[in-house]
Amino acid sequence: MLPETRLLLRHPFFLQGDVYALGVPGAELAPLGVKRGWSPDAHERALAPFALDEGLAPSAQAEIALVYLPKGNARRDHVLDLASTIAEKLVLVGCNDAGIKTARKAVTARAVGPVQSEHGNHAQLVATSLKPVEPKLRERRFQVPIGFFEGLSPDPPPGSPDPTHEPSLAPLDARRPAGRLASSPGLHVGDAPDALTLVSLPGVFSEGRLDDATRTLLDVIVWPARGRVLDLGCGAGPIGLSAKRRVPTIDVTLVDVDDYAVEATRRGAKVNALDVDVRSSDGYAAVSGERFDVIVTNPPFHRGVGTEYEVTRAFVNDAPAHLRPDGAFWLVANAFLPWEEPLRARFATVDVVAQDRRFVVYRATRPRT
């Protein structure tokens, strides 16, 4: 049971009435006796004892909106706006090390009347009545450089490979140092730099910029000329959308557990007129029974104490079941994280394609089945 739940159970008075839960982890709902709610997280929805509402604009009415503090100020403010349309009374709980003190200030700014607090279990509960605020899903657009146009140069350099012909998984120099963005090996390089416009929504990973680990991966990854690519944990979609832009002949599926990420990626695909398949999915759940030529991931690493390892471990362990026999699994991670061993347990060949002080890019092939 989470510290937030233990604190709430010590103060049952705050949940007397008709409660609607916003972003409360699925497994915490039964102990709290809450029977209605919403979550933008497919994993939490799967753990809930009843069907939680989905979508980015839940419409419900209740006496009390119970909110577990989400990560990041932008998502927090958005969820507080949603809560204000659902119930007059707000009960917000969060851990001390997760920003509940700052959140209390944000709540105070929206409060009508007094703000009550209770402390304990390294968490804080904040209760008040809220001014109703119209929730606005603020999107932020940003540019992601993806290297150079392929195949557009009128005069290709002699001997350069033909992009329309099989560049599939050209040989790689092992342990290439991570460097600046370049063009994928095996593809024809023109001279016009290309960029994607991505859309970010509140709380979507990397909040309007290209993450350095993602950049390191995009710098070295090799896309096949055709076949299916899965971007696992797509965030705003920089990996899968740039794959589709670079190699329009591949079929790209992008999945994320967070509905805001799914919506951000859909919007990004629309802005760039890219025909891709974007799905809400806890890990491989939404692609069960499907196989890909490339699975690529910049996995989550700080979702909560301990849980990030479980998620990435499942991404690695379940990869062979979703790869074609000659497929490749690409993973970028912080250099200190222990992914080489689990990869070697599931794949006969594991190459370190790029490495610097901060990140490692692995390419794992020959899945063990």
Ligand X SMILES: C[S@@+](CC[C@H](N)C(=O)[O-])C[C@H]1O[C@@H](n2cnc3c(N)ncnc32)[C@H](O)[C@@H]1O
Closest CB to ligand X among residues 104, 346: 346
Site map (CB under 6 A) of ligand X, residues 36-55, x = contact: -------x------------
- Per CB under 6 A, contacts with ligand X among 109-168 are none
State the number of binding residues for ligand X (CB under 6 A): 23
Report the C-alpha gap between 352 and 176 in whole angstroms. Answer: 8
> Which one of 68-76, 144-152, 257-265, 357-365 is the stretch in contact with ligand X (CB under 6 A)?
257-265
Q: Quick one: how far is CA 1 from the chain centroid?
A: 24
328: contact with ligand X by CB under 6 A: no
The burial class, CB within 10 Å (0-12 / 13-18 / 19+), for 72 is middle
Report the C-alpha gap between 79 and 279 in whole angstroms. Answer: 22
> Which one of 116-124, 148-156, 162-170, 299-307 is the stretch in contact with ligand X (CB under 6 A)?
299-307
298: contact with ligand X by CB under 6 A: yes
Closest CB to ligand X among residues 125, 201: 201
Backbone angles phi, psi at 108, to 5 degrees: -60, -40
88: contact with ligand X by CB under 6 A: no
> Which one of 67-75, 136-144, 170-178, 281-289 is the stretch in contact with ligand X (CB under 6 A)?
281-289
Q: How far is the CB of 359 from ligand X (least distance, A)?
A: 12
32: contact with ligand X by CB under 6 A: no
342: contact with ligand X by CB under 6 A: no
Alpha-carbon distances of 97 from 9, 114, 122, rounded to whole Å: 20, 24, 8
Report the C-alpha gap between 181 and 168 in whole angstroms. Answer: 20
Residue 323 β-bridge partners: 292
257: contact with ligand X by CB under 6 A: yes
Report the C-alpha gap between 93 and 3 in whole angstroms. Answer: 9
Site map (CB under 6 A) of ligand X, residues 233-252, x = contact: xxx--xx-------------
268: contact with ligand X by CB under 6 A: no
Closest CB to ligand X among residues 43, 363: 43
282: contact with ligand X by CB under 6 A: yes
- Per CB under 6 A, contacts with ligand X among 182-221 are 205-206, 211, 214
The residue to which tokens 């004892």 are assigned: 49
What is the helix (H) or strand (E) element at residue 219, kind and residue range?
helix 212-220
Residue 89's contacts (CB-CB under 8 Å, 6 or more residues apart) are 17, 63, 64, 65, 127, 128, 129, 130
Closest CB to ligand X among residues 152, 271: 271
| Buried/exposed 282-307: b ≥16 CB within 10 Å, e otherwise | bbbebbeeebbbbbbbbbbeebeeee
Q: How far is the CB of 8 from ligand X (least distance, A)?
A: 25
Closest CB to ligand X among residues 255, 316: 255
48 token code pair: 């809930």
281: contact with ligand X by CB under 6 A: yes
Q: How far is the CB of 234 from ligand X (least distance, A)?
A: 5
In contact, 281 and 223? CB cutoff 8 Å:
no
325 token code pair: 């026999």
Q: How far is the CB of 283 from ligand X (least distance, A)?
A: 5
> Which one of 127-135, 146-154, 170-178, 277-285 is the stretch in contact with ligand X (CB under 6 A)?
277-285
In contact, 293 and 324? CB cutoff 8 Å:
yes
Closest CB to ligand X among residues 140, 303: 303
DSSP-assigned letters across all residues of 293-311: EEEEE-----SSTTHHHHH
Closest CB to ligand X among residues 205, 339: 205
In contact, 174 and 354? CB cutoff 8 Å:
no
Give the footprint of ligand X on this chain (CB under 6 A).
43, 205-206, 211, 214, 233-235, 238-239, 255-258, 261, 281-283, 298-300, 303, 311
